[in-house]
Amino acid sequence: MPLVDTAAPFVVRDLALAEAGRHQLRLAENEMPGLMALRDEFGPTQPLKGARIAGSLHMTVQTAVLIETLVALGAQVRWASCNIFSTQDEAAAAVAVGPTGTVDAPAGVPVFAWKGETLEEYWACTERIFDWSAEAAAAGADWTGPNMILDDGGDATLLVHKGREFELAGAVPAAEAGDPEEWRVILGVLSRSLDASPDRWQRTAADIQGVTEETTTGVHRLYELARAGELLFPAINVNDSVTKSKFDNKYGIRHSLPDGINRATDVLMGGKVAFVAGYGDVGKGAAEALRGQGARVIVSEVDPINALQAAMDGYQVAKLESVIDQIDILITGTGNKDVVTVDHLLGLKHLAVVGNVGHFDNEIDMAGLEAVAGAEKIEIKPQVHEWRLPTGRSILVLSEGRLMNLGNATGHPSFVMSNSFTNQVLAQIELYAFRDRYATDVHVLPKHLDEKVARLHLDALGVELTTLSPEQAAYIGVEVDGPYKPEHYRY
Amino acid sequence: MPLVDTAAPFVVRDLALAEAGRHQLRLAENEMPGLMALRDEFGPTQPLKGARIAGSLHMTVQTAVLIETLVALGAQVRWASCNIFSTQDEAAAAVAVGPTGTVDAPAGVPVFAWKGETLEEYWACTERIFDWSAEAAAAGADWTGPNMILDDGGDATLLVHKGREFELAGAVPAAEAGDPEEWRVILGVLSRSLDASPDRWQRTAADIQGVTEETTTGVHRLYELARAGELLFPAINVNDSVTKSKFDNKYGIRHSLPDGINRATDVLMGGKVAFVAGYGDVGKGAAEALRGQGARVIVSEVDPINALQAAMDGYQVAKLESVIDQIDILITGTGNKDVVTVDHLLGLKHLAVVGNVGHFDNEIDMAGLEAVAGAEKIEIKPQVHEWRLPTGRSILVLSEGRLMNLGNATGHPSFVMSNSFTNQVLAQIELYAFRDRYATDVHVLPKHLDEKVARLHLDALGVELTTLSPEQAAYIGVEVDGPYKPEHYRY
Amino acid sequence: MPLVDTAAPFVVRDLALAEAGRHQLRLAENEMPGLMALRDEFGPTQPLKGARIAGSLHMTVQTAVLIETLVALGAQVRWASCNIFSTQDEAAAAVAVGPTGTVDAPAGVPVFAWKGETLEEYWACTERIFDWSAEAAAAGADWTGPNMILDDGGDATLLVHKGREFELAGAVPAAEAGDPEEWRVILGVLSRSLDASPDRWQRTAADIQGVTEETTTGVHRLYELARAGELLFPAINVNDSVTKSKFDNKYGIRHSLPDGINRATDVLMGGKVAFVAGYGDVGKGAAEALRGQGARVIVSEVDPINALQAAMDGYQVAKLESVIDQIDILITGTGNKDVVTVDHLLGLKHLAVVGNVGHFDNEIDMAGLEAVAGAEKIEIKPQVHEWRLPTGRSILVLSEGRLMNLGNATGHPSFVMSNSFTNQVLAQIELYAFRDRYATDVHVLPKHLDEKVARLHLDALGVELTTLSPEQAAYIGVEVDGPYKPEHYRY
Amino acid sequence: MPLVDTAAPFVVRDLALAEAGRHQLRLAENEMPGLMALRDEFGPTQPLKGARIAGSLHMTVQTAVLIETLVALGAQVRWASCNIFSTQDEAAAAVAVGPTGTVDAPAGVPVFAWKGETLEEYWACTERIFDWSAEAAAAGADWTGPNMILDDGGDATLLVHKGREFELAGAVPAAEAGDPEEWRVILGVLSRSLDASPDRWQRTAADIQGVTEETTTGVHRLYELARAGELLFPAINVNDSVTKSKFDNKYGIRHSLPDGINRATDVLMGGKVAFVAGYGDVGKGAAEALRGQGARVIVSEVDPINALQAAMDGYQVAKLESVIDQIDILITGTGNKDVVTVDHLLGLKHLAVVGNVGHFDNEIDMAGLEAVAGAEKIEIKPQVHEWRLPTGRSILVLSEGRLMNLGNATGHPSFVMSNSFTNQVLAQIELYAFRDRYATDVHVLPKHLDEKVARLHLDALGVELTTLSPEQAAYIGVEVDGPYKPEHYRY
């Protein structure tokens, strides 16, 4: 039974859950110094006063701290998760109840998310973050939707763009044979919406001042919209802040990959042969973590520059098929599909561990695996499956090929997310409070804000920053307070 | 409700648990190549035929593979755990049911262990592994006890020695004021035993051919007994095999320390200041693991040689009090007491994580912490407690100061335990099948067996061993097949 | 006595030197697979046929392989060093004699460079690379200068720009009080040139199709010229190719920093406290190398992003003055001035080692040190000086504060330079053979060429590159053969 | 022309050399805190007063500090090198002149050593350290030889034992066909000695109170003598002190191996495949150094325990022949012979670098290489030879297969040698001042002295040692001041 009622206003049914979540929030706050510093800095001036933020991002403990930071800066917020499995129910409950609320009198933020939603429920939840009728009524306002989106993966942005497009077309198209199941669900949601109102999404789109987007995937969609001239409002690409992409990919995976392997399998990594497909930031973090546990790491790459980096960092660089029969642990982090094929899976050592920390579950050909005649799937425990193969060998597949650092561990830790989310809050402030600085295009945060995000995380680590003298700053042609590097600097 | 009935013969009440355990055993077997190789090598000749082994060692999945290996080599076995918390119930159930048994017709080994025993239950279980009357009856034999002990920490050995001592004295002494609770329980067990039989432990002791002991602590007790002339049968010190002490301490902790921190707290280790008290094998593994996750590690040592090693390995070496206010993660691995005092705890950063991977829970002065006026203990989740201190800061204490790699993680992984347990099995064979080689003293395994243990773990890691030519062997004065090193070699 | 006669055509005076150099070239060719691959690929088509390249770049063994690669692709070349100390005389001799020449009949390239030039000699040499009258005479041509520049630091480019500027002004300005000595020398060269010809540099500038520039400093000057509208011909910024900046800075310094410390001092790095000022690519390489030798590394940074990276990589980040009395080895790699002040130097441990791998000798305040009353400078050996300080302590200064990886070691190794120089050759081909693609501005190499440079270095390291399937390439929106990443990707 | 006259009393011919050496001694003293601390501690009490030490050990700068420490503790000393190539002439000169002497009035220690001795010269020098007639005359004493030996490799000890043996036999045996050249030289020396005196070595042996031996090889010889009942005086095995074997082998090689590769070849280690034969302490240090430079390291081992350690440390473990065609850098550190055969050498990559840091030059089959038909040896520079092989490929052999860390670099750095030599001095004190504690056998230093050696090196590294409380010491059964570990502890 879901924790929340998607049809009725949100009701928290479990105070114990909310209290457990509140404990975790308190611990997480200590690990999210960037967000807490923003509360201190901007709490008094309330730069987000008047902002109505529709948020679609994994409803975890860390996101709870983000949400309460947005609120502390003046915003009103409604929230959904961006993934059917990623919600931590105690975090959702804690945010919904709020720090001072009770179950009967919640004083928090409406949250539409629970662990294990169906696709139908997921998109219903997403739609709910655009329904601000209760807030409008309370405010005596004539708007009924948000004026800002905070997005992860672009689902919230998609709904607005597609909803408006179909309204203008006068009809929601029928699903076609071969359309993914999820697209059918989206069409259903928008079809019901169009039945109820012919211009809801047009009005919503017109109100929205901007979107801040968390991920590579969402950013990719935004650039496509912008190139096609279809982007409806300015967007800030949070993903490509240095303090986001170079931090959560690399250091987040370094943390959560071994954590996931441990929780899923308890196998010793030391002495084992681990293969990491992809040596981007994710692969770099994965390889470092595995080496740090004493594994021998082999890397694959398609980009010769990254391949050369891997070699210079001391890793063997090989094609997967060249070393397949030596591998104990196989990790994908490429962002591409079919990186691990069925032939690869059939060639692995007995009980090799297979996991993905890239993006989609198609990095490993799970569909192909399911079609192997004679293969048998045994659940060892949730998110850990032994596949008995017709070769007589088995493999252990984590999280069914989806992100194992989320499915088998707890994703990026708070400190890493503090970097990402401090970027998010600064981006929300930029687009809301300084809207006129941003054309309807996709922007990255200015470098001084990227540096600010880093700066807000130094004290917690005991880092002492050196200050340039004015003479030194002049000598290298920068301001004493930065920004310090040209745009193309690679860190 | 306990899984087993300590009074009656063991009854498995939960087949699902046994089946889940059987899955885990199968996975563990793949990670325990040493034990599986012994089954292949010695299964046909049954060197343990006739051995009646009383085992007292954490009743985990890995121990289950050990037990079934002993059985595969011909032994009869009865088993208890050596720790009230460490039993994995599914492993106990799987062993009890046996690979071919059912709940109604168990075909396994009598196991007297479950997670969360009381001290009374614990010592009752330990006593049960010495009661072989059912087996004797089935065999029509006149013995009623075991002829071998496999011990971890020395509790089984203690019971025999103390039982016999009190029998000879004619009475069990009364507990004195200040005696630990556990000692009172032991006296109770032995007192009831003496009431029932005046010579049970004398007969048992006379039958026992030897004990193989797993740990530093147990070995320490054995050497004390031997020095005092009180040791009743030969003992093999498994702990000081190279493939035990240098492997499970260092590589086991390297694995399970970060695992425990992750499961307990989810805090990012990267960028944090971690302090490791002690740079023995445990400390070396801890420091390497933390550095491998990007932490900055500071080490303390009392032994100048180990301190110099730590410095040469690139670590800062400092007294705890000198850097106490910089520490995010504080780990003890010394084997000594009061390493972390209340003053230290009060001086830590807010929400610093405190855990012990040494031996006893007195490495951290938990008693002192409990006595701090105004300190408040909040359970965040089982084995994770926030202590709110009168300073206004909190600390996070893992596993109440007991071994956090057991309490918050799953202890040493199977591959590491395979090394330890292969030593155990070889030691059991030595003392049982080659009893006359061993005087009533404490012995270490001969080096060629230590090397054999290593050798049995190489294939699984894809290690290709180089073979000496006869000329090369002669040149360095060894046999082609080893042993290769003098006794004092330090590896 | 200099090896070459700067007034007369180049004369090689020492065949033994040339032969020794030829041995080294042969070894270096094996370590410069990128350049050798270009010879194979482009030798047949001679894309540089007709190119007359004036080169100004450290005249080392690696540069010799570069020069002979340019010749193998059809170019004519004249060469000077870009530093008075950096020439390896045997390399200069080998290039001048040429692979098939003799001292009496040199068949190589005119080289104007020797180790230990005066400033007068240096600029005379630089002027000589623009004097192509002999080549013109031989070709019956009407040009007298080069049509391409290959520059390192921008001195050759400066001479053309300033020469033309003064010609147009009709006079070379007089030096002013306070002008650096080097500027006076340059004015002298140009004044004599103007006396000899009123339009030499105008004609030269008009002939030049482009310049390819190696370093940060030179690139900085080019961007300034471009911004001021004074750039006379297109420029390619080789420095900011990924395979240049991320490779020679990081991996080159990782190699040559410990090498320089060893050759200069033979001190053990293990166990020592090493301080690295700056955590850019140079600092990253330095810190990794020192940690790899067992040193404890402390880093300083002014940029909070780089500071956070250092912390996440496990280094202590502190201000120099906070830890000055703990430091055994102090290394600067910032590109800024006065990073190490006299106060810092006075506060160091006795016989601390001080070296610079940044850019100029003003990273360490050497002028200030020389002015310290009572300080005494003792040459331990060339490029290693003990400074006895009035504190009673001494410090060991390497290379008088100039680049110690050049002065005390041999600079970047061949493999690293092969990456940089393969970029150089590709950039020369671009500007010479595809001149019309490049406006008179500063360009970076297109990413596919950057990737090509990496690709040419993989086989030598045994790297197996994975190939995208067409479906995979389409899925991530790239061509199968790349380029693979967006321009802003940070590697 | 040799620096010293072996026939006449030692004469220093080069004051500049002595002064250069004195500078280096001063720097080395700063890196040898153990020896300097012994001067402070024992200078006042002169425990070596009356000791007449014959020293045979590489005459380097570090040895110079050792010699002057022995003198500072009251000893008289005569010195030879234990290797024909290892003498640093400036160190020899500095010691001979002494800190306060001049060339004409040397005030140092008689040193019989120079770089590049012949075997004849070498053994003549070794004999000279036993000729104390000048000192005896000056003292009006009736002895003519030393009363202590400080040995490295056992040559000095050999001379005494063989000299006495042949005297007792009445004749020196003739060399036989097949005897090594060196043995013939030794027989010559002893034959001339016997001609001159029938009992010189008997008297010398009777006077000698003991020998302290530095190396594995020398220790091996001592144990053989002891086993055979032929040992003439007590010996202390310095080699097996923890602060010797675990420090100079591991940390010394970690320092000097990459140093030697750099000085010899300047090849980039990063990205290369390096093979390390042997994973004892030497191999561990070598592998760590190469990995620290970004190489991919493959290890070979014959001992399964060490092989398993290598795997657990993340290295590939393979037979040399299995990976021979991937190797860029091949290093031996086994202490065995024929580890690298001619077949291996023929199978290496073109221009692979081959070096030995084990013990003798027969780890690599240099004799076999010299016998390869068609192989050509080209000296690139001293101690670096290209061997052109009939395969068309070349290899680069360092130091002709002898210790390349000595031949191509400068051996162990001062700090490492300070550990070894502090052991030596303490061992000399033990055998000289506490002779009656030591039977005529081979001893290791008591653990508290081993710990003392470490202790004396901590301050220089900024190490803060933790002190046990009396309660803690009692708890683990040690004294507060140590020793802290049982004898079998492996560190």
Instruction: Report whether A307 contacts A284 (CB < 8 A).
Output: no
Inter-residue long-range contacts of C344-350, CB under 8 Å, 24+ positions, other chains counted:
C344/C320, C345/C369, C345/C387, C345/C389, C345/C395, C346/C372, C346/C389, C346/C390, C346/C391, C347/C321, C348/C324, C348/C393, C348/C395, C349/C325, C349/C393, C350/C393, C350/C394, C350/D30
Q: How far is CA A57 from the centre of its chain?
A: 6
pLDDT of residue A396: 98
CA distance B332 to chain D (A): 14
Is the CB of D267 less than 8 angstroms away from the CB of C414? yes
pLDDT in tens, chain D (491 residues): 344 555 544 556 688 899 999 999 999 999 999 999 999 999 999 999 999 999 999 999 999 999 999 999 999 999 999 999 889 999 999 999 998 888 788 889 999 999 889 999 999 999 999 999 999 999 999 999 999 999 999 999 999 999 999 999 999 999 999 999 999 999 999 999 999 999 999 999 999 999 999 998 899 999 999 999 999 999 999 999 999 988 999 999 999 999 999 999 999 999 999 999 999 999 999 999 999 999 999 999 999 999 999 999 999 999 999 999 999 999 999 999 999 999 999 999 999 999 999 988 899 999 999 999 999 999 999 999 999 999 999 999 999 999 999 899 999 999 999 999 999 999 999 999 999 999 999 999 999 999 999 999 999 999 999 999 999 999 999 999 999 999 999 99
Q: What domains can be seen in chain B, in order of their start residue?
A: 11-208 (3.40.50.1480), 251-408 (3.40.50.720)
Residues B323-379 pLDDT 10s:
999 999 999 999 999 999 999 999 999 999 999 999 888 999 999 999 999 999 999
pTM: 0.96
The Cα-based distances of C318 to C307, C322, C324 in angstroms read 9, 7, 10
Is the CB of D316 less than 8 angstroms away from the CB of A294? no
Is the CB of D311 less than 8 angstroms away from the CB of B458? yes
Is the CB of D30 less than 8 angstroms away from the CB of C251? no
Contact of D184 with chain C, judged by CB distance below 8 Å, is answered with no
Among A14-18, B166-170, B243-247, D278-282, which is the least confidently predicted range? A14-18
CA distance D92 to chain B (A): 30
What mean pLDDT, rounded, does chain C reach?
95
- Residue D412 known to bind ligand: yes
Contact of A308 with chain D, judged by CB distance below 8 Å, is answered with yes
Rounded Cα–Cα distance for residues D156 and D77 (Å):
14
Query: Where are the extended beta strands (E) located within B32-95?
Result: 52-56, 76-80
Give which of D131, D124, D120 is closest to D200, Cα–Cα.
D131
How many C-beta atoms surround the C-beta of residue A413 within 10 A?
A: 26
- Residue A423 known to bind ligand: no
What mean pLDDT, rounded, does chain B reach?
95
Instruction: Report whether D32 contacts D414 (CB < 8 A).
Output: yes
Contacts of D467 (CB under 8 A, 6+ apart): B302, D480
CA distance A300 to chain B (A): 20
Instruction: Report whether D121 contacts D137 (CB < 8 A).
Output: no
Q: Which of B23, B30, B251 sits opposite A294 (nearest CB)?
A: B251
C289 contacts on D by Cβ (under 8 Å): 292-293
Contacts of A211 (CB under 8 A, 6+ apart): A148, A149, A150, A151, A156, A157, A222, A233, A234, A235, A236, A431
Instruction: Report whether A298 contacts A318 (CB < 8 A).
Output: yes
Contacts of B12 (CB under 8 A, 6+ apart): B3, B4, B18, B93, B96, B97, B103, B106
Kindly give the pairing relationship between strand B376-381 and strand B384-388: antiparallel
Question: What letter does residue C446 receive in the DSSP assignment?
Answer: P
- Residue B332 known to bind ligand: no
- Count CA within 13 A, CB hemisphere, residue B71: 18
Residue C452 clears pLDDT 90, i.e. is over it: yes
Kindly give the pairing relationship between strand A329-332 and strand A316-317: unpaired
Rounded Cα–Cα distance for residues D36 and D69 (Å):
7
Give which of D271, A305, A447 is closest to C445, Cα–Cα.
A305
Give which of A75, A71, A67 is closest to A93, Cα–Cα.
A67
Chains that touch C (3 or more CB pairs under 8 A): A, B, D
How many C-beta atoms surround the C-beta of residue C375 within 10 A?
A: 18
**Which sign, positive or negative, has the C-alpha torsion B412, B417, B420, B421?**
positive
Radius of gyration from C-alpha coordinates of chain B: 23
Q: What's the pLDDT band for B3 if we cut at 50, 70, 90?
A: very low
Segment B145-172 shows an average pLDDT of: 98
pLDDT of residue C102: 82
Q: What's the pLDDT band for A290 if we cut at 50, 70, 90?
A: very high
Contact of C251 with chain A, judged by CB distance below 8 Å, is answered with yes
Percent of chain A with pLDDT over 90: 91
Q: Residue D236 class from Cβ within 10 Å (0-12 exposed, 13-18 middle, 19+ buried)?
A: buried
Q: Which amino acid is at B231?
A: L
Q: Which of A263, A271, A293 sits opposite B263 (nearest CB)?
A: A263
Element (H, E) at B42: helix B33-42
- Residue A405 known to bind ligand: yes
Chains that touch D (3 or more CB pairs under 8 A): A, B, C
Residue C379 clears pLDDT 90, i.e. is over it: yes
Question: What letter does residue D248 receive in the DSSP assignment?
Answer: I
Give which of A271, C454, C282 is closest to D271, Cα–Cα.
C454
Rounded Cα–Cα distance for residues A51 and D353 (Å):
66
Q: Which of D269, D294, D413 sits opposite C268 (nearest CB)?
A: D413
Nearest CA in chain D to B484: D303
Contacts of A114 (CB under 8 A, 6+ apart): A2, A3, A4, A87, A89, A92
How many C-beta atoms surround the C-beta of residue B423 within 10 A?
A: 31
Contact of A268 with chain B, judged by CB distance below 8 Å, is answered with yes
- Residue D217 known to bind ligand: yes
Residues C295-352 pLDDT 10s:
999 999 999 999 999 999 999 999 999 999 999 999 999 999 999 999 999 999 999 9
Segment A137-151 shows an average pLDDT of: 96
Instruction: Report whether D304 contacts B454 (CB < 8 A).
Output: yes
Is the CB of A308 less than 8 angstroms away from the CB of D270? no
Report helix, strand or coil for A450.
helix
Is the CB of B314 less than 8 angstroms away from the CB of C308? no
pLDDT of residue A2: 45
Among A181-185, B473-477, D359-363, which is the least confidently predicted range? D359-363
Chains that touch A (3 or more CB pairs under 8 A): B, C, D
Contact of B319 with chain D, judged by CB distance below 8 Å, is answered with yes
Rounded Cα–Cα distance for residues C182 and C360 (Å):
15
CA distance C461 to chain B (A): 23
Among A285-294, B63-72, D108-117, which is the least confidently predicted range? D108-117
CA angle, corner C15, sides to C10 and C20, nearest 5? 115
Rounded Cα–Cα distance for residues A92 and A112 (Å):
8
Is the CB of D318 less than 8 angstroms away from the CB of B464? yes
The Cα-based distances of C208 to C149, C187, C443, D357 in angstroms read 7, 22, 16, 54
pLDDT of residue C12: 65
Edge to edge, the sheet with strand D442-444 lists D111-112, D76-80, D52-56, D148-151, D210-213, D235-237, D442-444
Rounded Cα–Cα distance for residues D84 and D88 (Å):
11
Rounded Cα–Cα distance for residues C487 and D8 (Å):
76
Q: Which amino acid is at C41?
A: E
Dihedrals phi, psi of C121, to nearest 5 degrees: -65, -40
User: Residue holding tokens 């921008």?
Assistant: C154
Is the CB of A305 less than 8 angstroms away from the CB of C245? no
How many C-beta atoms surround the C-beta of residue D126 within 10 A?
A: 22
Q: Which of D272, D293, D351 sits opposite C27 (nearest CB)?
A: D351
Instruction: Report whether B236 contacts B427 (CB < 8 A).
Output: yes
Rounded Cα–Cα distance for residues C253 and C290 (Å):
11
- A442: β partners: A235
Kindly give the pairing relationship between strand D384-388 and strand D376-381: antiparallel
pLDDT of residue A6: 53
Angle, to 10 degrees, between the axis of helix B15-30 and the axis of helix B33-42? 90
Token pair for B483: 């042993």
Q: How far is CA D380 from the centre of its chain?
A: 28
Is the CB of A294 less than 8 angstroms away from the CB of D313? yes
Contact of D485 with chain B, judged by CB distance below 8 Å, is answered with yes
Report helix, strand or coil for A80.
strand
User: Residue holding tokens 């390896």?
Assistant: C88
ipTM of the prediction greater than 0.85, yes or no? yes
